[in-house]
Amino acid sequence: MPVAAWFATVKIQQENGEYVLQELLSGNEAIARGAWEAGVTVATGYPGTPSTEILEAVVGYKEDIYCEWSPNEKVALEVAAGAAMAGARAIVTMKHVGLNVAADPLMTLSYLGVEGGMVVCVADDPGQHSSQNEQDTRQYARLGKMPVFEPSDSEDAVKMMAEAMEVSERYRTPVILRSTTRVSHSRSMVTLGERRKPNEVGFERNPPRWVPLPLWGRRMRVEVEDRLKALSEATSTSPSNRIELRDTSLGIVAAGIAYQYVREVFPEASVLKISFGYPFPDKLFREFAAKVDKLLIVEELDNILEEHIKALGIECIGKEVVSPIGELSVDRLRETRARLEGRELPEPAHLPEEDGLPGRPPVLCPGCPHRGVFHALGKRDVIVTGDIGCYSLGVFPPLNRTDTILCMGGGVTVAHGMDKAGESRKLVGIVGDSTFFHSGITGLLDVAYNRGKSTTIVVDNRTTAMTGHQEHPGTGLTLMGEPTIEASIEDFGRACGMKRIVTVDPYDLKETIEAVTAEIDADEPSLVISRAPCPLKERKPIGPRRLIDEEVCITCGKCVKLGCPAIESSEERVRINPLLCIGCRLCEQVCPVQAISKEEG
Amino acid sequence: MKSEITSVLLVGVGGQGVLLASEITARAALAVGYTVKTNEVHGMAQRGGSVTAHVRYGEEVFSPLVPMGEASVLGSLEEVEPIRYHNLLKPGGLAVVSAQRIIPTTVSTGQATYPADAKDRLKRVFPNLVYFDAVEEARSLGNPQAANLVILGAMSTALTLPADAWKESIGACVKPKFLELNLRAFARGRELA
């Protein structure tokens, strides 16, 4: 869903009598606000929960900031890098797995460096609320030898964007700003500031600076190491890292949002708040350790600070009392505290009333066009390799029509790999429209080029649906709302060399089943495009609502097997919830006794 | 010195208006001068999944999420959803639950059953329970979509925020043409609590 714009602005009088404006912003809105205040003029990205709303908020500043949804994170990072090489301040946004896609340009951009400030905003998802894995983006900072900031709330996000831009320009390095789900999607107060004057833009030709051929790249490698040493001094004196001395019997090093949980669970303890943690602020670690009797390290996901502090020869505890798996919380740190104090916390009460509560997994919406494709695939014993998007929900009962999911674009290529391995069943790869443009095209080219036989189905619902309906190269609109080209999936298929290309209306089950069956049976690779816009985006009915005539219904359950949330069944009857039905007609088409028809009137 | 943090939890199913109710609560607390933090669910969980919104306010607030046993009040727009979150409510805290049932597909497809004894379960889990059909209440006021404001009105009786702050906040959060309806829905909720 698009982020709600709250704009709850309040006026606060400061001690010096002056007024400041404060606003309740989500972490993502605060990152966008920080970018605007820092004088950013170019912002790029690819949608991905929990990072999506950063660029959606940047659009609010489109008079001052050029912004785009790029086809994927690699492209987005390169575009932002180009802007920063020319002297502009730029940001690029993505979720943690997006940085895997963008890692190639980032690792070498670290060598080239930047002229204008460049901040790579990456949102991690500890606890995997909307992600296929847990990754700690701070590892990339170490790998690429570049600084990383970790805001603990929205106010931090605005301040750290300003500092990250300064650091980026002073040390000529890209900087990572690592958010997490709870920072990105929590709201807290932000003091609003003025916009810094944007940089002058003008690229300066200088091949030894911008071309990492080995001749010059080897020199850059040495400079990167020198930069790290200089930055290690900077992190020890940064305002983003601070020692809060209270009772010194226990000192806690807390990074990112862990700081908030630590303050609530250990209110009396001394704390070293780390929000600019790499290159490691060794001086601060030593200073803090010398002031406290016992040292505890609390960080979300990997124990990066802890391992380094131990390597410095400082005694501390961390992962033995704070597991690196999943997201932290006040509740988890209360368990940590209890263990440290040799207490046992009572288990959270499990009541008999909780038994047998029906699960509520995410499902395809009423009227979702993907449902027709999954229904058609249910007619055959094929292996279906899926991809990242709403259609990943096809894995759940009653559809049960997805066998694997790997990564963006993997739907196309994993099918091809199984085919080449000699899998005896037919192979079908599924990919969405936005995902096809993101990284499905190269896979399709591989299938055609290397004489594969798998069927690729692009479920084109004309939007990036799962992340809340962002535009992409096929929609005809840019992020800034300008009309543009509509890239054609059929044309891409032809250009890749696909000979069999068919487009179907997924609301017409007969047409969809026939096409899918014919393409599966074909002995050469084929491309099926299922095209119908996402009804959740269109916000209007597809047709008149459907009704079940209970006199005619034989409660066979065929309509129920479509997995539509509007179809409610109990032992004695099946009914269509009129508040949910949007008239897609799929249930009418699967009913063997014509019990379902459109509502009268 | 530890100042008191007030925690409020709203639950329901995507699309029921949980986020609007949490926004109104947050703004009402802001209007009184409290520091506020909130958290909301985005992404995959929104596709028919269980939705929660957390609001916390006080002199100083750290975690944006409500820890176990700390919610002063729990409001739910769906009948059985609040049972999943009972551990977050303070012992004896107020639970306001609508009799609305949103049937999950796990029930429609026979993998699970919707508890027939939902009301009895609620009474046992929440000793301090206010239970009514918020959609029916809102419908009788003219628009079933104001069910979230009826729930919020009932929840507000467990919070110390003044009436003016609620009124101001509702005025800032809903469209002018729905203001009158929403204020009446909120007032109706206060009567029902």
Task: Please report the domains of chain B, with CATH numbers, ordered by start residue.
Answer: 6-192 (3.40.920.10)
Judge whether residue A224 has pLDDT over 80: yes
Report phi then psi at A399, rounded to 5: -70, -50
- pLDDT band at residue B1 using 50, 70 and 90 as cut-offs: very low
SS3 A129: coil
Among candidates A1, A334, A360 on the partner chain, residue whose Cβ is nearest the Cβ of B13: A360
Among candidates A24, A357, A561 on the partner chain, residue whose Cβ is nearest the Cβ of B36: A24
Q: What is the CA radius of gyration of chain A?
A: 27
Judge whether residue A1 has pLDDT over 60: no
- pLDDT band at residue A2 using 50, 70 and 90 as cut-offs: very low
Rounded Cα gap, residues B190 and B193, in angstroms: 5
* CB atoms B44 and A188 under 8 Å: no
CB A517 within 8 A of CB A376: yes
Among B39, B62, B100, which would you mutate to test the A interface (most chain A Cβ atoms within 10 Å of its Cβ)? B62
- pLDDT band at residue A407 using 50, 70 and 90 as cut-offs: very high
Mean pLDDT of A416-422: 98
pLDDT top residue among B19 and A93: A93
Mean pLDDT of A553-570: 92
- pLDDT band at residue A11 using 50, 70 and 90 as cut-offs: confident
pLDDT digits (tens, 9 = 90+) for B31-53: 999 999 999 876 555 567 788 99
* CB atoms A563 and B105 under 8 Å: yes
Q: Which of A239, A240, A177, A136 is nearest to A30 (CA)?
A: A177
The residue with tokens 């350790």 is A289
* CB atoms A49 and B113 under 8 Å: no
* CB atoms B107 and A348 under 8 Å: no
- Percent share of chain A, pLDDT over 70: 99
A290 Cβ neighbours under 8 A, 6+ residues apart: none
* CB atoms A329 and B63 under 8 Å: yes
Among candidates A348, A353, A397 on the partner chain, residue whose Cβ is nearest the Cβ of B121: A353
Q: How far is A352 from chain B (nearest CA, A)?
A: 9
Poorest-confidence range of A8-22, A104-118, A389-403, B139-153?
Answer: A8-22
Among candidates B19, B64, B172 on the partner chain, residue whose Cβ is nearest the Cβ of A186: B64
pLDDT attached to residue A282: 97
Provide the whole-model pTM.
Answer: 0.96
Judge whether residue A437 has pLDDT over 50: yes
Mean pLDDT of A79-92: 98
Among candidates B39, B64, B83 on the partner chain, residue whose Cβ is nearest the Cβ of A353: B83
Mean pLDDT of A508-532: 97
Contacts with A561 from chain B: Cβ below 8 Å: 109
Contacts with A468 from chain B: Cβ below 8 Å: 42
A505 Cβ neighbours under 8 A, 6+ residues apart: A511, A512, A530, A531, A532
Among B1, B40, B47, B79, which would you mutate to test the A interface (most chain A Cβ atoms within 10 Å of its Cβ)? B47
CB atoms within 10 A of CB A229: 9
Maximum distance among all Cα pairs of chain B, rounded to whole angstroms: 54
* CB atoms A130 and B44 under 8 Å: yes
Rounded Cα gap, residues A248 and A190, in angstroms: 31
- Percent share of chain A, pLDDT over 90: 91
ipTM confidence: 0.95
- Number of A–B residue contacts, CB under 8 Å: 169
* CB atoms A52 and B42 under 8 Å: yes
Judge whether residue A84 has pLDDT over 60: yes
Mean pLDDT of chain A: 95
pLDDT attached to residue B3: 65
* CB atoms A187 and B50 under 8 Å: no
The per-residue DSSP string of A83-118 comes to: HHHTT--EEEEEEHHHHHHHHHHHHHHHHH--SS-E
Mean pLDDT of chain B: 93
Among candidates A4, A568, A577 on the partner chain, residue whose Cβ is nearest the Cβ of B19: A4
Q: Highest mean pLDDT range out of A355-369, B6-20, B64-78?
A: B64-78
Judge whether residue A541 has pLDDT over 90: yes
* CB atoms B108 and A568 under 8 Å: yes
Judge whether residue A517 has pLDDT over 70: yes
